[in-house]
Structure formats: structure tokens, C-alpha cells
Amino acid sequence: MDTHPTNNYTTLEEIQVRKEQLSEAMMNDSEKIAALWNSVFKKQENATRGEYIASIVTHSITAIDAFLLVRKLMKNYSNVLSFFRKPKRGEK
């Protein structure tokens, strides 16, 4: 089921005009996406010492939490993962 509107073009000029409209819309969207992308990864230049320490603590807690999650998953599902491994010599 196609939800895009279908336009019937009768001349090459109509196709060219539509192509230019779409190209312009794509350029505008591209500029918006680039601006948003850059704002996501913008480095905070005037962060205070307290904000800097808070960000280090936050990132450290996130890293520890990820490590503990992986450890817990490996502990609980190691038997599932060992099912896909090739048996070593002498093992059934």
C-alpha cells in the first residue's frame, strides 16, 4: 500500500519543476539534520568544575552499570551460548 501521493506529469517541464522542488526540500532537510547532529555532539565549553565532576561520575556509573549487566547476562545465559560452540576434542 503506497501512501505517497501520485502525480501525473504530462510534460518534461513539470517533471523538472517537481525535481527542483524536491531537491530544495532535501537540501533544507539536510541542513536541519546537520544542525541537529552538531548540537547533539557540541562540547560544553563553559562547564564549571562541579558540572565536570558530575559528568565524570555519571559516565562512570553508566560504564559500571553496563559491565554489571553484561556480567549478569553472561552468567544467566552462558548455557545458551555454549550450545552454539563447537565441542572440543574428547567432549560429547
Q: How far is 23 from 20, CA to CA, in rounded Å? A: 5
Give 15-73 pLDDT, tens digit per residue: 999 999 999 999 999 999 998 888 877 776 777 889 889 989 999 999 999 999 999 99
Its pTM stands at: 0.42
Q: How many residues does the chain have?
A: 92
Nearest alpha-carbon partner for 18 in 31, 29, 9: 9
